[in-house]
Amino acid sequence: MSAPRKPEVPGMDRDIPGAPAITASGTAQWRRLDPRTLLVHCGWMAAPLGSLALTALATGGRITTGAWVTLAAIAVSFAVVTTIGLIRWARTEFRVALHGSPDAGAADGGHGHASLTLDIRSGLLTRRLRSVPLHRIRTVDLTASPLHRLLGVTVLRAGTAGSGDGRSELSLEALTVPEAERLRAELLAHADAEAATNDPVVARISWRWLRYAPLTFWVIGGVFVVAGSAYRVLDGIGIKAWKLGFVQRAFTEFGASALWLTVPAALLVILALGSVGAVALYIENWWNYCLEWTDTRTLRVHRGLFTTRSVTIERARLRGVLLREPLLLRAGGGALVRAVAGGLGNREENRKRSGLLPPAPRPEALRVAGGALRSPFPGSASPAALTPHPRGALRRRRVRGLLWAVLPGTAVLAGLGAAFTPVLLHCAWIYAVVTTVCVLWLARDAYRSLGHGVHGPYLVARSGTFSRDTLALQREAIAAWTFSTSPFTRRAGLVTLTAAVAAGEDGYRIPDLAATEAPAFAAAAAPGLLEEFLSHPGAPDQLPEQRLP
């Protein structure tokens, strides 16, 4: 008589090199964080100690009473933080364990029940035990700041189903890099092992893409961000930036020269500094970039020079991709790609983790988007291939541009001209002409970008001009529709659809559809959500003012 067959537990048939054996929960070995966690917790002292050092240099080595008080406060804080860190390290343990017995019920022909879980226990006075089944873990992120890399450790964050707000996220800080890699393999070992493709690597960094780095916000915005940060640091250590000799000389020279020469020269300097900064930021963020499918059906993004980041996204949680084309980047023929996936944390964490491709040529972006979806990217079609929006959407964009960009600036310049000098009156009409032309062109471009459609299992939506976004979203991922109108859109016969999704930004807008066509499109894109409302008499007139489950 043959012995009863034990039920299979997902992930138990995998061998993880160097990993501890996964056993029943009563005998699974608890593991600790690396002792270097204590040094990581003390990294915050670099800023105040650096501030004291700069103060000493600026004052010729004379340290004031206030500086000594600050130094004493740092010493006390160091003792407190070290004690807390030591307690946290000593009282935090984790393990991957098998809960339940696979043999349960086997004797009577029944089926045993067992599940692999990640257990984390912590706390001193109040002990806390978190036990999460591995099948609920969707993403595993390894992040190492320069301090972490200096110490040879990394931070592991595991996103679970329902952790979109970041509160359900599991975090272990800090682990050695080999230990973190082994633990990640353990956490993802329960996934199906279907082969990815003949070549699992979707994309690698190409330094020819550096030419797209200056075509971003950081060309100008980054200069002001750095300048503001430097001002705050100097102000914090008691140095008034505007009183420095070279700053005063620069302002004197700037005002003494012809403005028609100094202003363009200043803009060129800002653009040059911004371009250098954008290239440096591009290199730091995307150094050693690699996008690949692993053998556990997860999409992995690895990148970073000083701060390394390795993000894995389970294929089952990848709900779509977003092709983003900011205005300058689009003018240069470039684009970037982001993932629409669950379990990537709150909105800020999702922004950091969802990047699949840096600014790169648009054909490469389309190829990577298709590689992430494992099918041709449905948003690669031209805007004409999507369903256009009513002409009322064009009128709305023209009117908003004229009201918010042209009219206020013209009125302010005209008022100042009437009060002070006629020169500003000429500036007012020149500003009105130039901005009107720009507004009409941008409104036309925004209208031409509008489009929506259904392509197989995906909903495709395109909109925007300053950042033209093309979304390919799995139709089955849509959990709800929101129909939004305002007095102006109702008068124009328009409605904005928002697809609620438990992934990415939680909601994706399709602006300014025809109100008479929006309910039918929503019903076709996500069957089963709106039939009850569409069958109700007068439903199309009521839909724009309801949130439909």
Confidence band, pLDDT 50/70/90 cuts, at residue 24 = very low
pLDDT, averaged across the chain: 79
Q: Where does the pLDDT of residue 60 fall: very low under 50, low under 70, confident under 90, or very high at 90 and above?
A: low
Can you give the pLDDT at residue 396?
94
Residues 209-222, mean pLDDT to the nearest whole number: 82
Segment of 43-52, 82-91, 463-472, 526-535 carrying the highest mean pLDDT: 463-472
DSSP strands (E only) in 233-367: 290-293, 298-303, 308-314, 318-326, 334-341, 355-361
Q: Please give the pLDDT value at position 11.
A: 40
C-beta of residue 148 within 8 angstroms of C-beta of residue 172: no
Q: Which residue has the tokens 């363009």?
A: 264
Per DSSP, the three-state class of 444 is helix
Tens-place pLDDT, residues 130-186 = 888 877 776 778 888 887 888 888 888 887 655 555 555 678 887 888 888 888 877
CA dist 352 and 169 (Å) reads 15
**What is residue 50's predicted lDDT score, i.e. its pLDDT?**
66
Q: Which helix (H) or strand (E) holds 495?
A: strand 494-501
For residue range 500-522, what is the model confidence (pLDDT) as tens digits?
Answer: 998 888 889 999 999 999 999 99
Report the side by side order of strands in the sheet with 298-303. Answer: 170-176, 153-160, 137-144, 308-314, 298-303, 290-293, 201-204
For the stretch 432-456, pLDDT in tens is 999 999 999 999 999 999 999 999 8
Task: Please report the pLDDT score of residue 66 as a whole number.
Answer: 66
Contacts of 439 (CB under 8 A, 6+ apart): 398, 401, 402, 405, 406
Question: Is the pLDDT confidence value at 540 over 50?
Answer: no
Res 257 pLDDT > 50: yes
What is the pLDDT confidence band of residue 79, given thresholds at 50, 70 and 90? confident
List the domain boundaries for the chain. 212-281, 391-448, 450-549
CB hemisphere CA count around 151 (13 angstroms): 21
What's the pLDDT band for 210 if we cut at 50, 70, 90? very high
Beta strands in 50-169 (DSSP E): 93-99, 115-122, 128-133, 137-144, 153-160
- Report pLDDT digits (tens) over 280-297: 889 999 999 999 988 667
CB atoms inside a 10 Å sphere around CB 427: 17
Q: Per-residue pLDDT tens for 89-140?
A: 888 888 888 766 555 444 444 444 557 888 888 877 777 888 888 777 767 7
Q: From CA 456, how far away is CA 454, in angstroms rounded? A: 6
Q: Are strands 507-514 and 478-484 parallel, antiparallel or unpaired?
A: unpaired
**Residues contacting residue 427 through CB under 8 Å, at least 6 positions apart:** 413, 417
DSSP 11: T
The pLDDT value given to residue 112:
45
pLDDT grade for 197, boundaries at 50, 70 and 90: very low
pLDDT for the residue numbered 375: 86
The values of phi and psi at residue 298, to 5°, are -125, 145
Question: pLDDT band at residue 45, thresholds of 50, 70 and 90?
Answer: low
d(C-alpha 486, C-alpha 500), whole Å: 20
**Phi/psi of residue 2, each to 5°?**
-75, 150
What is this structure's pTM? 0.70
